[in-house]
Amino acid sequence: MLLRGIVATVTMLMVVFRALAAPVQGDSSLGPLVNVLERVDDPAIQRDVLRGMHEALKDRRSVPLPAGWHAVYQKLERSGDPEIQQEVTLLSLLFGDALAVRVVHNLVTDPAADARQRQAALEALVQTRQPDLGPILGRLLDEPPMAGAALRAMAAYADDGTPSIILRHYAPLSDSDKRDAIMTLSARPVWAVALLDAMEQGGVARQDLTAFNVRQIVNLNDPRVDRKLNQVWGPVHGTSRDKLKLLAEYKAKFTPDVLAKANLPHGRVIFAKTCGVCHTLFDSGGQVGPNLTGAQRVNLDYVLGKVLDPSAVVSRDYRMTLIKTKDGRVINGIVQQETNAAITLKAPNETIVVQKDEIEKRKVSDTSLMPEGLLAAMSDEDARDLLAYLASPNQVVLQGTISAP
């Protein structure tokens, strides 16, 4: 009997999960799951059902309130199981329940609450585009466990005050939070100008800008931003003749004897700051760009060619999709998933779900996510150490700390 009950439960869940995979037009697709939650008292089954609902609805801004949900919410909110309480509350938020909105707001702003639960609650508020989050997000920048989540959330709201708030908090941020801050400030033209002004004035270190950030700023396609970037970073585009000249100059400068004197551990630090945000080398780094471990790294011509002319050949698997939303945000990333309702993009610092009805423009870029001019922005010592590390046959020990890229 027990086995028969388990099989029946699994079969039922498979049916309702398949129903949820279709676009939700009302509460009919959710009805079977709500009925399960009403009848079942086993916490394990409750968790599985709630997880399935959450996964199926993760790309929705809002969903009509299913019949019978209020009773389920009241039942499960008193369950005593933290995960069940969190899941049912976040789903209620998605269903537009006013009580759940207040509960989630209170959780986000409670410094005594679990940081992971607070971060998940904040993501849910952003997913459902709850208004008036600006003041809350600004205050969260003073709390290290919440600063990164708040910085990422700020990118979703077109608030003119965002740049000044972020830049005022920038100096004491952790390395990872600084990466989130720059990603957010690179998402809108006016914000990018504020970021570049701060770099020009010394409030943000020039080397804090990664190759991905530069490409993101270029993709804003704004003349004022382009001029400012050219002043602060340097030229991003060059002619074929320029690239051939640079190739010859770098080959003459970084001879085998020069590279033999490189500090490889320092080169690893430079890699982590500039390349490792997107690329993996020796099982360490990001996954937005190609894995470099098996590339022709010992060939200086090959490496310099890729760095000086990164857009010469761009693999189909790593072509970036550029999305501009109707409120002016520009998002660059690799498409991970697409449904009738939304597109999910993988960026260096987060996975972003964009609703299709919020998209103004979408295109696949033929240019590399890495801009030109990467080596020109470095000292000769940093460039030497990076090139030598890229050619290293084995991983080296990481010494010191990695500054924010």
- Radius of gyration from C-alpha coordinates of the chain: 24
The least confident of 75-89, 98-112, 127-141, 274-288 is 274-288
User: Which residues contact residue 215 at a Cβ distance below 8 angstroms, ignoring those fewer than 6 apart?
Assistant: 320, 332, 367, 368, 369, 370, 371
351 and 335 in a single domain? The answer is yes
Q: What is the pLDDT, as a whole number, of residue 240?
A: 56
Give residue for tokens 């991970």.
336
| pTM assigned to the model | 0.73
**Run of H or E residues at 278:** none
Question: In this structure, what DSSP letter does residue 335 have?
Answer: E
Asked if residue 341 belongs to a domain, the reply is: yes
250-268: string of b/e by CB count within 10 Å (b at 16+)? beeebeeeebeebbbebbb
The answer on 265 and 374 residing in a single domain is yes
* Domains contained in the chain, number: 3
Provide the percentage of residues in the chain whose pLDDT is more than 70: 81
Mean pLDDT of 126-145: 91
Structural domain harbouring 210: 161-236
Q: Last residue of some domain: 221, 236, 251?
A: 236
Instruction: Say what the pLDDT of residue 339 is.
Output: 86
- Name the phi and psi angles at 317, rounded to 5: -70, -20
Which amino acid is residue 12, in one-letter code? M
Predicted local distance difference test score (pLDDT) of residue 174: 93
Whether 269 and 334 map to the same domain: the answer is no
299 and 381 both lie in a single domain: yes
pLDDT in tens, 32-50: 889 899 999 999 999 989 9
